[in-house]
Amino acid sequence: MLRRAKTIRSVAFADKPAERKHFLFTLYGEDMKKSQTVWIKPWNMLGAMALLSLAAGSHAVEISDGLDGAPIAEIREELKSVPPDIRANMSREQVSRFISNMLIDRRMEKAALAAGTADLPEVRAGIARASRNVVVRAFADAEAKKLAQTLPDLDGLAKERYEVNKASYVIPEAIRVAHILLTVNVENPESSDEVVRAKAERLLAELRDGADFGELAQKHSEDRGSSRSKGELPGWSEKGKLVPPFEEAAYALKPGEVSGLVRTRFGYHIIKLLEKREARQQTFEEVKESIVSALRNEFLGSKRAEWNKAFLGNKPIVLDDATLEALKKP
């Protein structure tokens, strides 16, 4: 009795010499170690097609570009050179292109070996260096996994660090502001302090009469970075981040309020407070993950430093001038 093959690698059709009206099906399992040959008569071809459909959900075991092929297992290993998050989102076309390039590279490698390229001193050195890097990285990664298994109770240590350094886990007071800036240039009569102040006062009067702050900022503010965003400065501004006169005026406002004219070294500002955030102590649960991560890195960093000591030399490398110049020559 035929057992279902996990993968039908190939199907060959042939006339049976004796009967001339049979077809030959050769089935291979995924391991490619077992195969079955089945002679199917024409009136059983429908059953043969059903047999082929058993493998409909199975993947190929080898992929070819017509000249060469590679087993799925080898391609998977090659794909590990792509970062996991990128590999998981590769499209069908991207994976196909990757495999195509891999097969092209393999043919080029064969040609290069036949041409003796691998025997060139610089190529031998590059191969040795690449091999060393791969082996050392794999060795270090394996050791890092071992070290990670020796981690102490980081949750408990994280809680201790939090309690001792609570002041470090405070979200500071901050504001979100928008402004209209008119710059002063004492060397240009048209941008003198007097002229600019008069213009700023006219804009402030318009705002007092109900004009839209964002529209005026887009039209008149000379801070090109914020004017595109209706005068809004990006993100939250904590104390000490803004120039003193600006900061003092902004923090004195209530959300939605507009200041009078504020003079800084940049010129005249009209400030609007958009939002204010009060200082707040973060809970342990809010910062636990970041503290545990920091402790893990500190612990593993210390352990890796100890592990590295076994490979350090026992004296410094000293280079005289002649040797240094010789090494630096192209």
Convert the pLDDT of each residue in 266-284 to its tens digit: 999 999 999 999 999 999 9
pLDDT reading at 42 higher than 70: no
Q: What is the mean pLDDT of residues 194-220?
A: 96
Indicate whether 101 belongs to any domain: yes
Average pLDDT over all residues of the chain:
86
- Considering the chain, what percentage of its residues have pLDDT values greater than 90? 78
Q: How far is CA 162 from CA 199, 234, 286, 287, 302, in A?
A: 52, 30, 11, 8, 21
The verdict on 251 and 274 lying in the same domain is yes
pLDDT tens column, 110-144: 999 999 999 999 999 999 999 999 999 999 999 99
Indicate whether 210 belongs to any domain: yes
The verdict on 95 and 178 lying in the same domain is no
pLDDT number for residue 39: 46
Indicate whether 75 belongs to any domain: yes
Indicate whether 157 belongs to any domain: no
pLDDT number for residue 70: 93
- Considering the chain, what percentage of its residues have pLDDT values greater than 70? 82
The verdict on 261 and 205 lying in the same domain is yes
Q: At what angle do helices 72-79 and 92-114 cross, to 10 degrees?
A: 100
The verdict on 105 and 23 lying in the same domain is no
Indicate whether 193 belongs to any domain: yes
Indicate whether 124 belongs to any domain: no
pLDDT reading at 1 higher than 50: no
Indicate whether 149 belongs to any domain: no
Domain interval for residue 33: 1-59
Listing DSSP states for 173-235 in one string gives -EEEEEEEEEE--TTSGGG-HHHHHHHHHHHHHHHHTT--HHHHHHHH-S-HHHHTTTTBPSS
pLDDT number for residue 57: 53
Banded pLDDT at 60 (limits 50, 70, 90): confident
Q: What's the number of domains the chain is made of?
A: 3
The verdict on 85 and 15 lying in the same domain is no
The verdict on 111 and 22 lying in the same domain is no
The CATH number for 249's domain is 3.10.50.40
* Token digits of residue 213: 């702050």
pLDDT tens column, 16-39: 444 444 444 444 444 444 444 444
